[in-house]
Structure 1
Amino acid sequence: MTIELAVDCRNQLGEGPIWDVREQALYWVDIAGRELQRFDSASESVRRCLMPERVASFALRRSSGMVLALESGFAFFEPLTEEFRWIARPEATIGRNRFNDGKCDSSGRFWAGTMDDAGTEYTGSLYRLDADLTVHRMENGVGIPNSLAWSPDDRTFYFADTLDGRIYAYDYDAPSGAISQKRLFVSTSDPGSPDGSAIDSEGYLWNAEWDGWRVVRYAPDGSIDRVIPLPVQKPTSCAFGGPDLRTLYVTSARWDLAPSDLAAQPWAGGVLTMQVDVAGLPAARFAG
């Protein structure tokens, strides 16, 4: 498998890639840099939008623009006009927390989790933002929320706590958006911890391992199907893109890497790409 550097963006904390099938473009964020970024696959040009505060994750909307999970809450953003509008700040009284990973389900709800900004305490929660803009807390006692994904049949929801080093599976009820029957899906070992994920069309979960130098493809039963070594220590998330959704994009970080580490891994913080033999699924869009 040939791994290439698609964007030499050198993000401190690149995260949350999403492929827009309408635009044939990749969007992702640099949390530490407060930037939303867009890579046009045809022109290979990159556009960056500076946000009013750290932006952790987002989802495309069915109409236009996107919904964001910023440091302190949810907001709408229109990239073409750079119009920005706050929706809700569910943890306005918890100053130590910030939002982290998020994704949209097939029914058009946006899910995102919060975390202790230092990444050491279990003060976070998992929230669901519905199309009518109501906010629901779905889990609490979360360390570092990551890896939100749904099986193609919408019966299983995946959610990782990086602080635990575990990915969990839940029963998922698509009509109501309810989750139940939390159970261990996989537990990772040193040095890597589970970060962001993507589901392919066969129902396998592709997970980027923070500090693990790799992406792992897990079968629905939790067994390892394949391991893809990477030339970067801190891959953060992945997404399927390209005309046939067989291009895997992987974001990464330079966070806490010493100068000697950066010299040894010059692609750190960039967006990596590779061709894979299975297609992904189009990114779900927010219905609100």
Structure 2
Amino acid sequence: MRGIDVLMAINMAPEPPRFADIKAAVGLPNGTLHRLLAALIRRQLIRYDSHNKRYLTGSRVFDLARRTLDQSQVLRAARPELARLARLLGRPVCLCLADAGEIFVIDYEDPDATQSRVVRLWPRLAASDCAAGLAMLANLPADQRPALPTGGADLGLFRALGYATHLAARGGASAAAAICDDKGIPLAAISVAFDGSAAAPETLHEAGRLLAEAAHRAEANFGVSVATPAIVTEAPGPVPDSLTDHATGRDFMGENPVWSARDGRLYWLDILAPALRSLAPQSGHNTHRILPRVIGGLALAMDGRMIHLGQGGIFTHDPASGSQNLLLDPEPELPDNRFNTAAVDPGGCLWAGTMSLRNRPGTGALYRITPELGVRRVIGPVGLPKNCAFSPDGRQLYYTDGARKAILRHDLDIKSGSIGPEQILFSATSDSGLPNGIACDSEGMIWVAMLGGWSVWRLDPQGRVERRVALPVPMPTAVTLGGADMRRLFITSTYLRLPPGYSTIAPRSGNLFSIPVDIPGQPVRIFGGKA
């Protein structure tokens, strides 16, 4: 304990202390203090500046801090929301944790990219003296709340609102929303502070609503109801030399890649940024457009626009202007649901599933939308539906159910959209990873991204494994076939839900990859077009 006291005295000093300063802080005899300092130096927890005769924090402390942050699942879950909110609000947004009745900042995002490497320090505050603390207190059961003064704050109101506000006695204000686990217990809070001139009540409450939405999404990122997928020990063989890393930048969660033969580009989503991504493979030119809402599904439309599916329904998207217009919302009574990945069948109809924003299985359904915007609920409830794929003749429908860890198959009448009884095509095992995004090639084989399995697999129509392709990342998310001759398999991935430590083991997680294949994909299908 005395060694910890010495380490704390050095780390918490307003400037690097001398021997006398440390002795005054901890009250130890000279000999004892010299021995403790020498032991801390040997372990690189502190270092001694012989020129100025002062003691400083050692490199091992920074290494421990980095590893702690890398292992924080709630930090990884909140980081996309911090970045998005900082851009939206135009001011730093913080992620806060509670510790012994106090609140401290564990991470932040600055709207000014030039400040991204600036080290900021925020003081620890009493939980009752900031919005982050009040938001977390409001979400604790009454019998678990510590006996802290709240300055008359209405915790019940904050709980009902989904966010808390706080006016500081010294001027300025803050708003915050708690990130909770599946039992409703707060894990952290996302917070933003305003100075006195920007602290109008309308400003605080508008920020509060945005923070509450962000915390809600972070809970889904964290997967409070769904465990982080287990990662198999190693890839099923060496990574092929033909694999291309397109160096488009890491996605929080890349999903729903779609090849556009019209402009020779691949489009895909980073659903948690949220952003629309694109790549011209020949030139390497890539784009990153921030979207106004969470979008989980993507398809091409006949008029050159795109179809975006996500929170709030199905939208048209103009790639030139970035504008979105609502087409329809099949589930207006389920505001906590969103659309997931989408696909177009050989008849030009759009198929997409819905799921809970919090990843809670069983709240969604699988829909078929005709070009005339007729909507049919084909299957429901569904656990956690992923994208559909179709056999070349349109007589087989495949889709992945994440909750059941399986790829399912149905006979399909392409004209009516009617389906036959369910058949299980493939079920995950302890050493396979989880089937996620799928695509069907022109031979009727099914390519599948094995989440947690360091690989993509090619299955035959009976579910037998025909080929495994190893990847340098454990969490591929989705696949599609594209390129000028449709003989390139594009693979998206994620780094957000990596287990602790895997950011170092697999640093390319979140990148876009591709490999050449012998059998081409099916012709590109467009919503409203006929095969």
C-alpha separation between the residues in 1 aligned to 2:521 and 2:463? 18
| 1:63 Cα offset (Å) | 2.2
- How much does 1:94 deviate? 1.4
Matches within 5 A, 1:23-102: 23-102=263-342
Q: CA deviation at 1:253?
A: 0.5
Q: Alpha-carbon deviations, 1:179-231, whole Å to 9, x = none?
A: 22211111111351111111111100000011111111000111110111111
8 Å CA contact 1:111, 1:128 repeated in 2: yes
For 2:368, the equivalent position in structure 1 comes to 128
Given candidates 508, 514, 521, the residue that maps to 1:267 is 508
- Return the offset for 1:43: 2.2
d(CA) in 2 for partners of 1:82, 1:282:
27
Q: What is the alpha-carbon distance in structure 1 between the residues aligned to residue 337 and residue 360 of structure 2?
A: 11
Alpha-carbon contact 1:199-1:205 (below 8 Å) kept: yes
Contact between 1:122 and 1:142, CA under 8 Å: does it hold in 2? yes
Q: 5 Å matches for 1:1-288?
A: 1=240, 2-190=242-430, 192-257=433-498, 260-287=501-528
Matched letter for residue 463 of structure 2: G
Counterpart CA distance in 1 for 2:359 and 2:452 is 15
1:98-152 CA distance string (max 9 Å, x none): 2111111111111110112222321110111111112211111211111410000
SS in 2 for 1:8: coil
> How far does residue 258 in structure 1 lie from its aligned partner after superposition?
5.2
In the alignment, the residues of structure 1 paired with residue 471 and residue 309 of structure 2 have an alpha-carbon distance, to the nearest angstrom, of 28
* Mean CA deviation greater in 109-118 or 259-268: 259-268
- Give the superposition deviation at 1:14: 0.4
Higher mean alpha-carbon deviation, 141-150 vs 88-97, is at 88-97
Letter in 2 for 1:262: S
Q: TM-score, normalised by structure 1?
A: 0.96
Task: Tell me the alpha carbon deviations over residues 64-117 of structure 1, each in whole angstroms, 9 at most, x when there is no partner.
Answer: 111111222101011012231101112222133221111111111111101122
SS of structure 1 residue aligned to 2:421? strand
Work out which structure has the larger RCO, using CA pairs closer than 8 Å and 6 or more positions apart in sequence.
1
**SS at structure 1 position matched to 2:502:** helix
> 2:473, 2:449 → 1: CA distance?
11
Which deviates more from structure 2 when the two are superposed, residues 114-123 or residues 254-263?
Answer: 254-263
2:437·2:477 contact (CA, 8 Å) conserved in 1?
Answer: yes
CA contact (8 A) 2:399 2:438 kept: no
Distance 1:7 1:62 in 2: 30
The 3-state SS of whatever aligns with 1:149 is: strand
**Equivalent pair of 2:402/2:435 in contact (CA under 8 Å):** yes
Q: Percent identity?
A: 33
Question: Aligned to 1:185, what secondary structure does the other structure show?
Answer: strand
As a proportion of its length, which structure holds more helix?
2
1:236-257 CA distances to partner (integer Å, 9 max, x unpaired)? 1111111111111100001222
**Structure 2 unaligned runs (5+)?**
1-239
The answer to which of 131-140 and 88-97 deviates more is 88-97
**Which ranges in structure 1 are unaligned for 5 or more consecutive residues?**
none
